[in-house]
Amino acid sequence: MAPKKKAHLLGFMQNGFNSHATGMWRHPRDKVNWDFGHYDYWQHIARVLERGLFDAIFIADQLAPYATYENSSDASVKYAVQFPCNEPSTIAPAIATVTERLGIGVTLSTAFEHPYSMSRRLSTLDYQSKGRIAWNIVSSFSHGEWNAYGVDGRERGDRYERLEEYMEVCYKLWDSWDDGAIIADKASGVYGDPAKIHEVDHQGKYFSTKGRHFVAPSPQRHPVLWQAGSSDRGRDFAAKHAEAVFAVHPTINRMKEYSADLEQRATGRFGRAPGSVKRIFGLQTVVGESRAEAEDKFERIKECIPLEGALAWISGHFGIDFSKYSLDDNVADIEVPGIQGLFESILYAKDGAPVTVREAALIYAQGMGMPVAVGTAADIVDQMEVYLDEGGADGFMLATTFTPGCYEEFVDWVVPELQRRGRYRERYTGTTLREHLREY
């Protein structure tokens, strides 16, 4: 009998007041006696996740308030729609100092930062954390972001061509130090061997750089590369570069299709070994001591969602002003320019049945259209096992509800059930994030 597939687990948050369940700050158990802007809040959550043997905490991001709904960011401000939000990499050192094994994924956009400074920042974080950093590679998508940076961000046909060159420069910099480059001989006074620390001279269509990488090689050489592209071009980019992908699919059929397609692209189109790209699917969980208790908790969570705030979020994510549509319109009839893969999570949220604008907003505001597992620990693991065995999942990105309680409950109740069934590690066997991901 083949061994059971074990799950990778990551905590999914933003360095902000309210993460991915809109209105959750209103919940009576959310951030009680905690301030999201203080390091101790993040350090507590990191300790909880490491106690639960999670691969990593994954910090999502956007660069400016959503401002598509009614052509304004007013609703985002009014309802705390991922507002305010601090820069993600600033909490990585705070998390790294109180943990020993937990990985730290940071979302950083290539849109407004040169690859030289990006590769330097990531190398520094990976060096400081002893090899526990992942980079979620994104290029900015929302009108609010482009406007905030004073750039015309209307659809550019060369978006992925630019991103490919960006990665080319980063790879050149990360790979420019040979083994043995550091001599550090006090007697002679020679620290580094210039012949082994190569100057990168790249003169390309989009980027130019001439200089040496300014950081010694980190334990992973470069951070774990993460991606969430779901469009056709995005899937190609992920299949070529990513070591793990984050995807949101509401049904088993969508998971199966995505898993098979990504594997085919990675192996057939880019010649990578089977299983090279870990598929981490979004999942939201609500656990209780009984199924009835969990269902009641889930109802309390949904009651926190403000409809206008939900509309502001889907407008910002999908690049279209949903205030111009009736709440009863079918979202399948609306063409969106924004994040195609996530929009599909709404289109298929009811397994093919029509989804209205109102339903789409509320479903998305609950947790980005992720499937939700509600019940006892056994109920939740039952559902996770189906996704692992039939959906092609290698693990799960667990979206928050109320924090830090949702993670405390998951670690205390669900992790032991996963371990009891042989579906999860009993201890860390490596020290770097890449080793966690390759453990199984």
Within-domain flag for 72: yes
Does 328 map to a domain?
no
Q: How far is CA 399 from CA 60, 120, 153, 343, in A?
A: 11, 29, 29, 17
User: Does 315 reside within a domain?
Assistant: no
End-to-end CA gap in the chain: 17
pTM higher than 0.85, yes or no? yes
Binding annotation for FMN: 61, 107, 160, 230-231
Domains of the chain: total = 1
* CA 134/CA 156 separation, integer angstroms: 27
Calpha distance 286→301 (Å, rounded)? 9
How many Cα atoms sit within 13 Å of 180 on the Cβ side? 1
CB atoms near residue 85 (< 10 Å):
22
Per the structure, the complete domain to which residue 83 belongs is given by: 8-177+218-286+371-438
Is residue 1 domain-resident?
no
Alpha carbons 99 and 43: distance in angstroms, whole number: 8
What residues are designated binding site?
A: 61, 107, 160, 230-231
Q: What's the pLDDT band for 389 if we cut at 50, 70, 90?
A: very high
**Residues of the chain with pLDDT > 70: what percent?**
95
Report pLDDT digits (tens) over 115-138: 999 999 999 999 999 999 999 999
pLDDT tens readout for residues 250-287? 889 989 999 999 999 999 999 999 999 999 999 999 99
Predicted confidence (pLDDT) per residue in 18-33, tens digit? 988 899 999 999 999 9
Give me the sign of the Cα torsion angle 403, 409, 412, 418: negative
Look at residue 355 and tell me if it is in a domain.
Answer: no
Q: Are 385 and 359 in contact (CB under 8 A)?
A: no
281 occurs within a structural domain: yes
| Domain assignment of residue 364, yes or no | no
Q: Which CATH number characterizes residue 394's domain? A: 3.20.20.30
Dihedral angle at the C-alpha atoms of 415, 36, 243, 410, nearest 10 degrees? 10
Residue 193 lies in a domain: no
- pLDDT, tens digit, for every residue of 74-112? 999 999 999 999 999 999 999 999 999 999 999 999 999
E strands present in 172-241? 182-185, 190-192, 199-203, 208-212, 224-227
Q: Which two tokens stand for residue 6?
A: 């074990």
